[in-house]
Amino acid sequence: MEMSVRKHARLITSVGVAWLFDAMDVGLLSFVIAALKGEWRLNSVQMGWIGSMSSIGMALGAIVFGILADRIGRKPVLLITLLLFSIGSIASAFAGGLAAFLLLRLVVGAGLGGELPVASTLVSESVVPEHRGRSVVLLESFWAAGWLLAALVAYFVMPLWGWRIALALTGLSGFYGLYLREGINESPQFTGRQVRPRFWDNLRSLWQPAHLRATVMLWTVWFMVVFSYYGMFLWLPSVMVLKGYSLINSFAYVLIMTIAQLPGYLMAAWLIERWGRKRVLATFLFGTAVAALGFGLANSVATLLICGIALSFFNLGAWGALYAYSPEQYPANVRSSGSGLAAGVGRIGGIAGPLLVGSLIAGGVGLATIFFIFTAAILIAVAAVIFLGKETAVTRAK
């Protein structure tokens, strides 16, 4: 039993540390965008394209590597995607202009987008059903730690040494994840499988009657959640500046808000085996919608911080539940493909969100209206979970 617990902890840690560095990169990008606005004299549309280019890469990576993981295995794909992310992140620190930076963000996004659904699938398949949901949410909690590190680096490192050093450190740190990940085992459900499905067979299977409802639900939820997340969080420091706060103060406020991400994950992890996946996901998404509306309407520091903390708490808790919920919708032979394609569709929302914010700001649209759009998108996701989702938690005997 002790060895089992040790192996479980090693699996979560080995996958989670690399996830931490991925999150650190995404978190830093929001601060880098705010810094590049002045250094490269970017307009709001160009700033939006930085976030959207990362999402284009993530969409491609989620689809391609998700399908590849059903062909060659979860572990080799995780090694490939982490290597791709690390190299791209280091190279982006040396970009001389916007065009090169956008191209490298595409590479970074492909590695990041491919890793996330495959990592959650591996953990989901390697843990006993009674602890599966909690394990995946705990894996997701490393994302909050990565965002917290990003906020700390943005506040303490970037003002002294600049954004290039921050990105280079993130990429170099990612190689440590490769060292840890070498020690993990392949998913037992993949190693026990004899047939390796083809791409078109997998895609058709997802739209067969047995999986149709789950696919429609997941694609809807993923699109709306990613659309709102990247639209709000990549713009968060810039939004604070638009509300009249200095860049340094904005970084400090975002750091405070970011701290609330970890309790959000931990609360979701505690509830997910008690309430079930569906109820936790719907509840945390609804909390996100309310907090987003409050943040858009806030006109004081106190209100901004309260709503920003609530936004981080509920939104990241919802992410943890979503990653636990998604692989359980499909059987093992199409599980990684199904999760990867849902995440890939979601990344289309990640492309649209930052671009929409940039375009609306350039057009003079107020922040309250912008955040109302995100509130509506999240409420659509809530409806999809409630009316189309099915509970996948293991029922325990009383």
* Mean pLDDT for all residues in the chain: 81
* CB neighbours of residue 259 within 10 Å: 15
pLDDT in tens, 119-159: 777 877 777 766 766 777 777 778 778 877 887 887 788 88
Residue 1 class from Cβ within 10 Å (0-12 exposed, 13-18 middle, 19+ buried)? exposed
The residue ranking higher by pLDDT, 74 or 205, is 74
Are the C-beta atoms of residues 378 and 251 closer than 8 Å to each other? Answer: no
Q: What is the largest CA-CA distance in the chain?
A: 63
Q: What is the average pLDDT across 160-178? A: 79
Structural domains of the chain sorted by starting position, each given as residue range(s) with its CATH number in brackets:
2-179+202-388 (1.20.1250.20)
Give the residue, 173 or 84, on which the prediction is more confident. Answer: 84
**253 contacts: CB under 8 Å, gap ≥ 6:** 240, 245, 301, 304, 305, 308
- Dihedrals phi, psi of 198, to nearest 5 degrees: -90, 160
Torsion-angle region of 193 (φ positive above 0: left; ψ -120 to 50: alpha; else: beta)? beta
- Is the distance from CB of 374 to CB of 228 less than 8 angstroms? yes
Q: How confident is the model at residue 354 (pLDDT cuts 50, 70, 90)?
A: confident
Phi, psi of 106 (to 5 degrees): -65, -45
13: tokens are: 């840690």
pTM value? 0.74
